[in-house]
Structure 1
Amino acid sequence: MSREIKFRAWLKEDKRMVNVETMDFTDKSMQYLEKSEIINAHFLRRVSFDDVELMQFTGVNDKNGKEIYENDLISCNKYKNIVVFFENGCFKIKYPKSDTTNTICTLDTFLEKYKCKISGNIYENKNLLEENN
């Protein structure tokens, strides 16, 4: 069994999300495509790992076919804006089991039980995180 390994990145200074085209672990940098309006073309822009937050593709899609990445927020009828995170070699979520306890399970297990869609991510949609508190 294989899955596609790819990343996206949150550009800290520009405050926007980009798809990672290449990564160089020797100089600790990544490249993404940037569109130039002036010449109507795309070019690769290199940035340091220090200037981005990298997020890995989980290998699964939401109910609408959209790729789910680490740090995405997913929602279903019963649970809203649950953060996807990576821990101990797998992608997981933590959701409220009751008013006083939370449950952690793998993303795959949760998606087998609930049909979820992406509602945002922790960088572009901080307001959705606040709604859960």
Structure 2
Amino acid sequence: MDTNFYLPRKLLFKAWNKETKLLMRLDSMECIKGELVKKDHILLQFTGMYDKAGEELYEMDLVLRGTEKFVITWDGNPTAWTMMKIKDRTQQLPFTHALAKDVTRLCSYFESEKR
């Protein structure tokens, strides 16, 4: 079977610790029946994209585009990363590599005092 077309990607995660209220990189997590689990944490997946300063972008990151703030989320329909306006969560944009180069990462949504 020819698999030369397949390029594996890095699957990186950060986690929001619900108890300590800290965002952390993970050194371990459990896998139960194919599902990644870290007790008392919310797992946040790397989007595979970087902002204009070269910062990694993860789901639930707050980003600035021009003067507007957005949060990066996963949309199960149509299975893609999206960027949702903070002030009007009904407005979403498909989050693409081209768009990622036009944003600045501020912090994780969970680290933000003003959600």
State TM-score, norm by structure 1. 0.66
Q: Which runs of 4+ in 1 moved over 4 A?
A: 99-102
Q: Is 1:83 aligned to residue 89 of structure 2?
A: no
Q: 1:107 to 1:69 in 2, by over 3 A?
A: same
Q: Counterparts of 2:109 and 2:12 in 1: how far apart (Å)?
A: 19
Letter in 2 for 1:119: L
Contact 2:49 2:97 (C-alpha < 8 Å) held by counterparts? no
Structure 2 gaps of 5+ residues are 1-6
CA RMSD of aligned residues (A): 2.8
Choose which of 23, 28, 31 in structure 1 pairs with 2:29: 23
Equivalent residue number for residue 11 of structure 1: 17
Higher gyration radius (CA): 1
Q: Counterparts of 1:92 and 1:13 in 2: how far apart (Å)?
A: 28
Equivalent residue number for residue 122 of structure 1: 109
Give the number of the structure whose residues are more often strand, by fraction.
1
Larger RCO, structures 1/2 (Cα 8 Å, 6+ apart): 2
Q: Counterparts of 2:111 and 2:98 in 1: how far apart (Å)?
A: 24
Q: Measure how far apart 1:106 and its partner are.
A: 1.6
Choose which of 45, 50, 53 in structure 2 pairs with 1:56: 45
Give the number of the structure whose residues are more often helix, by fraction.
1
Choose which of 105, 112, 127 in structure 1 pairs with 2:93: 105
Structure 1 gaps of 5+ residues are 31-47
What secondary structure is seen at the aligned counterpart in 1 of 2:102?
A: coil
Task: State the number of aligned residues.
Answer: 105
Q: Counterparts of 2:74 and 2:45 in 1: how far apart (Å)?
A: 9
Q: Counterparts of 2:63 and 2:88 in 1: how far apart (Å)?
A: 21
Q: Is 1:95 aligned to residue 85 of structure 2?
A: yes
